[in-house]
Amino acid sequence: MDFFEVIHTQRSIRRFKPDPVPDDVIWKMIDAAIRAPSGSNLQPWVWLVVRDQAKREAVARAVRERLEAEGRLQEMRRNAEQLETASRRLSVRRAVELFENLAAAPVLIIPCLIGVTSPVSEARSLFAGSSIYGAVQNLMLAARALGVGTVLTTPNIYVEEMLVKEFHLPENAIPACIIPVGFPDGQRFGPTTRKPAETVTYWDDWGAAADRRD
Amino acid sequence: MDFFEVIHTQRSIRRFKPDPVPDDVIWKMIDAAIRAPSGSNLQPWVWLVVRDQAKREAVARAVRERLEAEGRLQEMRRNAEQLETASRRLSVRRAVELFENLAAAPVLIIPCLIGVTSPVSEARSLFAGSSIYGAVQNLMLAARALGVGTVLTTPNIYVEEMLVKEFHLPENAIPACIIPVGFPDGQRFGPTTRKPAETVTYWDDWGAAADRRD
């Protein structure tokens, strides 16, 4: 597939067919992920691929219960109804539906950052994210190129302790996100809605917009 | 260009020709960047494109002085000589050379995260990185597809205060990295060296490696 077509048609997929995702597809996704740059090329990552039904259900239960307990699902449901566009409402409703049952995806990939605290940078600092989320994006782009759907979710923030226990994570492994993976069910890849580049680009100084002629 | 060719031949470029990078190339890079996912699709970013010579030199001076003062450049020079492979030594030497003069790149792009502190997530947390570094990766992949070199650097950690003053950043704008951009000088795109996927992938449990047959 053409590079720019992949970039411009990647979108969050939140409904999945139950069909398994073949091993070679998963490997191609991870092969792409690990090409991303990382600080000092340390490649501080592990890709935890969860296909076991009982383990996916355990993660799904923990996420649902904690998001309910925190009032997050209720808040998302309320917000959905106040959104202006039908497509935005639909995507928030689908996000709620997915958080109610993450195990609906046949695969969950949990990228873990192998954290290092240095004199200048904390393992959990924003900047440490530069050594994992680029690789995550490569993984998701590769999935889209292969016709496989993904969505970047971060309920790991709420259930980290459970993930540590369930998957026996060592002390320095930090779950960076949870990526449901599967063949799209009733959703298509395609152009996404974004604020235009001209409105989020400044030239040489904050607030200095440039005319765009191209 | 083919998607997987771009992914597998993106590499850090640290020497640049002085030739300007055309506007339409910059716009295509940012058009690609903004397609990445972000939390709740908030697109919490501004792309600050610095081409002004005096401003690039001001950034370069601040970075060099702070890295020297912190002993980081000296440390990198020492480490370079202890590395085992010639290619690794060369890349650290080039990193030092670039940090000695970031202004050698005709363009510096400084992606800024528009930080939001919520009850569950700090603006500067690792997880906030999921809403900016995927877009940064899209930007760098698009550059590679267009024949333009980039490298993800994070000296912004050391010179944030200077960047805030020089570019009049508002309080909620956090420089996420500094990306030198330009046409490669004497460096080629091509396959990169990485730990194989099989050594950084576990299936269903930490430490559970899978045979790879594909």
Is the Cβ of A101 closer than 8 Å to some Cβ of chain B? no
* Partners of residue A181 on adjacent β-strands: A107, A150
| Residues on chain B touching A206 (C-beta within 8 angstroms) | 46, 48, 167-170, 173
The confidence band for B120, taking pLDDT boundaries of 50, 70 and 90, is low
- Cross-chain residue pair A206–B169, CB shorter than 8 Å: yes
Q: What is the structure's pLDDT at B133?
A: 98
CATH superfamily of B3-186: NADH Oxidase (3.40.109.10)
Q: What is the structure's pLDDT at A120?
A: 66
pLDDT at residue A127 above 80? Answer: yes
Rounded to two decimals, the pTM is 0.97
Is the Cβ of A87 closer than 8 Å to some Cβ of chain B? no
Instruction: Convert the pLDDT of each residue in B26-59 to its tens digit.
Output: 999 999 999 999 999 999 999 999 999 999 999 9
Q: What is the structure's pLDDT at A68?
A: 96
Please compute the mean of the pLDDT values over residues B106-113 and round it to a whole number: 98
| Residues on chain B touching A176 (C-beta within 8 angstroms) | 126-127, 130
CA-CA distance, A116 to B47, in Å (whole number)?
28
Please compute the mean of the pLDDT values over residues B4-22 and round it to a whole number: 98
Q: Residue A68: helix, strand or coil by DSSP? A: helix
- Cross-chain residue pair B2–A1, CB shorter than 8 Å: yes
Please give the distance of CA A128 from its chain centroid, rounded to a whole number. Answer: 17
Instruction: Convert the pLDDT of each residue in A48-87 to its tens digit.
Output: 999 999 999 999 999 999 999 999 999 999 999 898 888 8
Closest CA to B180 of B99, B118, B122: B99
Question: CA neighbours within 13 Å on the CB side: how many for B126?
Answer: 21
Domain ranges (residues) in chain B: 3-186
Tokens of A14: 């939140």
The confidence band for B214, taking pLDDT boundaries of 50, 70 and 90, is low
Q: Which amino acid, residue B84?
A: E
- Cross-chain residue pair B43–A4, CB shorter than 8 Å: no
CA-CA distance, B104 to A183, in Å (whole number)?
46
Q: Residue B127: helix, strand or coil by DSSP? A: helix
Closest CA to B182 of B114, B101, B112, B113: B101
pLDDT at residue A5 above 70? Answer: yes
Is the Cβ of A45 closer than 8 Å to some Cβ of chain B? yes
ipTM: 0.97
DSSP-derived secondary structure letter, B41: G
pLDDT at residue A214 above 70? Answer: no
Q: Going along A66-122, which residue ranges are E strands?
A: 107-114
